[in-house]
Amino acid sequence: MTDVTFILHDGTRRIVDVADGISVMQAAVMENIKGIDGECGGCLSCATCHVYVESLEAGELPAKDPDEDALLEGVAAELRPESRLACQIVMSPALVGLVVRVPERQV
Amino acid sequence: MISQEQNDTYTRVGPGSQCGELLRLYWQPVALVDEFEGPRPVRPVRLLGQNFVLFRDEQGRYGLLDRDCPHRNADLAFGRLENGGLRCPFHGWLFDVDGKCLETPAEPVGSKLCQRIRQGSYPVEVRSGVIFAYIGKGEPPAFPALDCFVAPDTHTFAFKGLWECNWLQSLEVGMDPAHASFLHRFFEDEDPEASYGKQFRATSIDSDLPITKVLREYDRPEIAVAAADHGLRLTTLRPIDETQTHVRVTNIVFPQAFVIPMSPEVTITQWHVPVDDHNNYWFTIFTSFTGPLDKKTMREQRLATYPEPDYRPLRNRSNAWGYDPSEQKAATYLGMGFDINIHDQWACESQGPIQDRTREHLGTSDKAIIAYRRLLSAEIAKAASGETPLMHLDATAAAALKGPVSFDGVDRSGDTERYWREGDARRRAAAPWGGEVEA
Ligand code: FES
Ligand code: FES
Ligand SMILES: [Fe+2]
């Protein structure tokens, strides 16, 4: 289990303890984090799990799949260098202190 | 008597339960090959509280998939069998036996959705007319070289039936040799010659005693339980007179099967497979040491009481299992007819959906049940700590695990153990496929 901090659109922070092997998108949906949708269930076809990665204390995020890059081109909110699709970030104890910001909108 | 907590540990088998995790480490029978004979080889399967669909594709391959479509969870058991797989009738998504998504016809041209979808799929193997599946983690174990798997197809026959109660109380009937003298008592013996394919109707080996008579007249058996590589071996002795002892050797093949003699020629290997916490299917493989089995007759006999498609018995709780008090007075101990299988069904179903073992009082004749529960506890603990439990075999160990010996005969030598070992060896030597079994 590893903590992930979500910064919601209104600025509130929510910390969720996520089991290993679960993606940040799955954790957000299960915990009702408003603003992360994950319509396709993590199949890299909806781009409704867009987040901004604010910080990470240790470990490395998985590299971006070309399909993720392609899909990020079409996200509804502003695309930034720290944009990721949350369904592609699978949690493990190696990822310490992950903080993600929920974008203004997904569609 | 055990605590409620202990009873829950033994009987609850859903995903994440302790016993459920143990049982998931073994190949489990899920269907009969006979169920796939018809025009539509697709069957829903419920195993250990999980729902699956089992189908055979155009190439003859079996596939076991999670039952809910990964698109919007419609029921794949109603799927269309076509184009190399099973197609969901809701929006046409198509899956092959490995759970690979082959088509998502409503998605735009060029959609990659399909490539990322994988329906849960599980390994399947066919042995002696039974389809086995492995739904646990990691690599499945190898199949042991049990008689029922080694004998040629002509010498085995498989059938199944639904019992509406927890798996463990059904299995415990199979390790309770004393009950046969009461529950299965007939006041008259049938002609053994006229009872093809039925249990307990034959005569014991080396005697002219119908097994029914032995059971009826010698009802205080001496039971010995020994640990064995396959689980437990039970030896049940019934002294007939100063010179003759009736010997019955039966087995528990861990975790969920027993191996017992049906007649001098045929053994029964029977699994009790949890559907969920409150139902189980028995799967039986009959194995002949002499000639081929008359499968057609054996299947028809059993379909008459266990009709397709669900193999739910016609006699059940809703009709009091056909209980007839006048028959109970005059002809049978139980009053539910002459089919042994229904007696056993009543015994375990009447204990309730899950037997309340906080209310039981076990006797000396229940010693195999006690030994089995001890074994089950130990193996549940092993599985929970990541150790390899009993009978989760690698290929070498599996090839060496033969038999086990089951026997029903009358000894006059006084050395009962030597008697049944030699009797079994003779029977094997004469069988077209019998091989040898470690003594
Ligand atoms: S959930 Fe659809 S792309 Fe991440
Ligand atoms: S629910 Fe199965 S294809 Fe849509
Ligand atoms: Fe019985």
Q: Please report, for chain B, the start and end positions of each structural domain, with discontinuous segments joined by +.
A: 27-133, 145-430
Residue B76 has pLDDT above 90, yes or no: yes
Q: Is B217 or B130 the better-scoring residue by pLDDT?
A: B130
Residue B154's Cα: distance from chain center in Å? 20
Distance CA B292, CA B270 (A): 19
Contact between A45 and B70 using a beta-carbon 8 Å cutoff? no
Please write the tens of the pLDDT for every residue from B410-429: 999 999 999 999 999 999 99
Say if B116 is an interface residue toward chain A (CB within 8 Å). yes
User: Looking at residues B317-330, what average pLDDT do you find?
Assistant: 97
pLDDT, residue B228, reads 97
Report the chain A residue with the minimal C-alpha distance to residue B71: A40
pLDDT, residue A101, reads 97
Q: Where are the domains of chain A?
A: 2-101
B134-148 residues labelled b (16+ CB within 10 A) or e (exposed): bbbeeebbbbbbbbb
Say if B137 is an interface residue toward chain A (CB within 8 Å). no
Measured from the alpha carbon of residue A26, the closest ligand is: 1
Site to substitute for ligand 2 among B65, B66, B72, most atoms within 8 A of C-beta: B72
Compute, in angstroms, the gap from residue B240 CA to the centroid of ligand 3.
Answer: 21
Q: How confident is the model at residue B192 (pLDDT cuts 50, 70, 90)?
A: low
Say if strands B257-261 and B245-253 run parallel, antiparallel, or are unpaired: antiparallel
Compute, in angstroms, the gap from residue B93 CA to the centroid of ligand 3.
Answer: 47
Residue B343's Cα: distance from chain center in Å? 17
Measured from the alpha carbon of residue A49, the closest ligand is: 1
pLDDT, residue B83, reads 97
Number of Cβ within a 10 Å radius of residue B306: 20
Residue B439 has pLDDT above 80, yes or no: no
What pTM did the predictor assign?
A: 0.93
User: Which CATH code fits A2-101?
Assistant: 3.10.20.30
Site to substitute for ligand 1 among A29, A48, A75, A90, most atoms within 8 A of C-beta: A48
Q: Identify the helix (H) or strand (E) that includes residue B376.
A: helix B367-384
- Decide: B48 and B135 in contact? Cβ < 8 Å: yes
Residue B267's Cα: distance from chain center in Å? 13
Residue type, A66: P
Distance CA B215, CA B260 (A): 15
Residue B209 has pLDDT above 90, yes or no: no
Say if B84 is an interface residue toward chain A (CB within 8 Å). no
Percent of chain B with pLDDT strictly greater than 90: 89
pLDDT, residue B193, reads 67
Q: Which are the contacts of A15, defined by CB distance < 8 A and separation ≥ 6?
A: A3, A4, A5, A6
Mean pLDDT, chain B, integer: 95
User: Looking at residues A23-43, what average pLDDT do you find?
Assistant: 94
Please tell me the distance in Å from B113's CA to the nearest CA on chain A.
6
- Decide: B323 and B335 in contact? Cβ < 8 Å: yes
Distance CA B394, CA B377 (A): 22
B259 lines ligand 2 (CB under 6 A): no
Residues whose Cβ atom is located within 5 A of ion ligand 3: B 344
Measuring from atom 4 of ligand 2, which residue has the nearest CA? B91
Distance CA A6, CA A36 (A): 10
Q: How confident is the model at residue B438 (pLDDT cuts 50, 70, 90)?
A: low
User: Looking at residues B5-13, what average pLDDT do you find?
Assistant: 97
B77 lines ligand 2 (CB under 6 A): no
Note the ipTM here: 0.83
Name every chain A residue with its beta carbon within 8 A of the beta carbon of B111.
45
Give the residue from B85, B138, B75, B136 showing the smallest Cα distance to B114.
B85
Residue type, B229: D
Q: Which of A45, A46, A67, A88 best tests the B interface by mutation, with the highest count of B CBs <10 A?
A: A45
What residue spans of A6-88 are helical by DSSP H? Answer: 24-30, 66-72
Distance CA A43, CA B231 (A): 45
Distance CA B237, CA B217 (A): 13
pLDDT, residue B195, reads 67
Give the residue from B231, B238, B236 showing the smallest Cα distance to B258.
B231
What CATH architecture is B27-133? 3-layer Sandwich (2.102)
pLDDT, residue B338, reads 93
User: Looking at residues B229-234, what average pLDDT do you find?
Assistant: 98
Please tell me the distance in Å from B390's CA to the nearest CA on chain A.
29
User: Looking at residues B135-151, what average pLDDT do you find?
Assistant: 97
Q: How confident is the model at residue B202 (pLDDT cuts 50, 70, 90)?
A: confident
Residue B259 has pLDDT above 80, yes or no: yes
From its phi and psi, is residue B311 left (phi > 0), alpha (psi between -120 and 50) or beta? left
Give the residue from B164, B340, B212, B215 showing the smallest Cα distance to B268.
B340
* Dihedral sign for Cα atoms in the order B125, B126, B127, B131: positive
Please write the tens of the pLDDT for every residue from B372-409: 999 999 999 999 999 999 999 999 999 999 999 999 99
Residue B279 has pLDDT above 90, yes or no: yes
DSSP string for B223-240: EEEEEETTEEEEEEEEE-
